[in-house]
Amino acid sequence: MPATLKSPRAQSLQQLIEATRFSKTDWAMVLTEGCHGRIGTAPPAVGKVPVLEMLQSFYSVAERFHSPFAQAWEFREAAILETEVVYSERGGHLKSVPCAIILRTLDGFICDLRILLDPTGIPSWPFVHGG
C-alpha cells in the first residue's frame, strides 16, 4: 500500500521530494538558512545555498524518487521516508536503488535533510569520495 505523510506541511514536502524536476525556488522556500544536508557518503552541506547546490547536483543525476513512497513515518518534527532513487544507466535504461530520506523540520521548514543510499554503480554520481 502506498505511504503518505499525514500533516499538510509534510504532504507539501512529500510533493516537492516526489517532483520529477528540481526547482531551486521551491526548495529554497522550505529550507532554513542554517539547514544541514547530506546525500549518500558525501560530506554534509551546511547552509541553504550549499544544500541547494547539493540537491541540484543530485537531481542532475537522479531521474526521480519512486512514487509513491513505500513507507512513511512522522514523529513530531521528523519524518522518515522509504523509497527508491531512479536513475538512467548508460544506454538509457532506468534502474533504481533503495533509499531512505530523513528530514527534520523547525517551525515547518526543513533544517536537516539526509538522503541515505548506496551510490555504487550509479554513473556520473557527483558525490563520489565527497566530491
Q: What is the mean pLDDT of residues 41-48?
A: 93
What integer pLDDT is reported at residue 3 of this predicted model?
58
pLDDT at 112: 96
82, 74 Cβ separation under 8 angstroms: no
pLDDT exceeds 50 at position 102? yes
Is pLDDT above 50 for 53? yes
Instruction: Give the residue-averaged pLDDT of 87-101.
Output: 84
* Per-residue pLDDT tens over the stretch 12-28: 777 887 787 889 999 99
**17-45 average pLDDT score:** 90
- Rounded to a whole number, what is the largest CA-CA distance in the chain? 44
Query: So where are the chain's domains?
Result: 8-120
The label of the residue with cell 506541511 reads 9
10 φ/ψ angles, rounded to the nearest 5 degrees: -65, -35
CATH architecture for the domain at 8-120: Roll (3.10)
Supply the pLDDT for residue 28: 95
Which whole number is the average pLDDT over 69-73? 82
According to the model, what pLDDT value does residue 130 have? 44
pLDDT at position 58 is 87
pTM beyond cutoff 0.95 = no
Written as nine digits, the cell of 81 is: 521516508
For every residue of 1-69, DSSP letters joined together read --B---SHHHHHHHHHHH-SS--HHHHHTTEEEEEEEEETTSPPEESHHHHHHHHHHHHHHEEEE-SSB
Is the pLDDT reported for residue 2 higher than 60?
no
